[in-house]
């Protein structure tokens, strides 16, 4: 394969950039070529929240009470204030406080 480290690095960067951009652009490329039927419409409506569920749930596995209580507090704050900043601060403050003071 490539001998020179700089060449290897350049090749790695180019390929990694191509791989990443392919995934970022590919979804629009495909979906812009179909006219959504009601079924595809419903799929697209439910997918974003499902992706978020999929991102969140495995990160809660094996977490302790401090994290789970903070997760609940974040949810309630987000629901009632509709503010991302306030919900984030609530979650961060509660997880650090609970870890430091209660579940040490």
Partner 1 sequence: MKPKLQFQEKSKVKFSREGMFDGFLKCVPLGLGVFVYGIVFGMLAVQAGMTPFQAQIMSLTVFAGAAQLMVLELWAPQLPVLALFLTTLAVNMRHLLMGAAMRDWLVHIPPGKSYFSLFFMTDESWALSVKEMDSGKKDAGFLLGSGLCIYSFWNFATFVGSSTSFWMDKYLADPAVLGLDFAFTIVFIALLTFFWRGKAQIPVWMIAAATALLAFTLFPGKWYIIFGGLAGGIAGALRNA
Place of tokens 């006219």: 35
Q: By CB under 8 A, is residue 68 in contact with partner 1? A: no
Q: Judged by CB under 8 A, which of 62, 67, 69, 101 binds partner 1? A: 67
Q: By CB under 8 A, is residue 96 in contact with partner 1? A: yes
Distance of CA 43 to the CA centre of its chain: 19
Q: By CB under 8 A, is residue 1 in contact with partner 1? A: yes
The CA distance from 79 to 95, in Å, is 18
Among the listed residues 93, 96, 75, 72, the one whose alpha carbon sits nearest the alpha carbon of residue 84: 75
Q: In Å, how far are 5, 56, 66, 104 from 2, measured between CA atoms?
A: 8, 40, 50, 51
Q: By CB under 8 A, is residue 101 in contact with partner 1? A: no
Task: Identify residues 31-50 at the interface with partner 1 (CB under 8 A).
Answer: 31-32, 36, 38-40, 42-50
Q: Which residues bind partner 1 (CB under 8 A)?
A: 1-2, 5, 8-9, 11-13, 15-28, 30-32, 36, 38-40, 42-61, 67, 70-71, 74-75, 77-79, 82, 84-85, 87-88, 91-93, 95-96, 99
């Amino acid at each position: 394969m490539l001998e020179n480290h700089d060449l290897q690095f350049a090749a790695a960067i180019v390929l990694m950039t191509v791989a990443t951009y392919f995934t970022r652009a590919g979804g629009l490329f495909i979906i812009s070529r179909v006219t959504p039927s009601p079924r595809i419409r419903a799929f697209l409506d439910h997918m974003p929240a499902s992706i978020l569920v999929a991102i969140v749930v495995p990160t809660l596995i094996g977490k302790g009470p401090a994290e789970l209580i903070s997760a609940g507090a974040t949810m309630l704050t987000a629901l009632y204030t509709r503010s991302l900043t306030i919900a984030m601060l609530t979650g961060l403050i509660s997880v650090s406080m609970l870890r430091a003071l209660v579940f040490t």
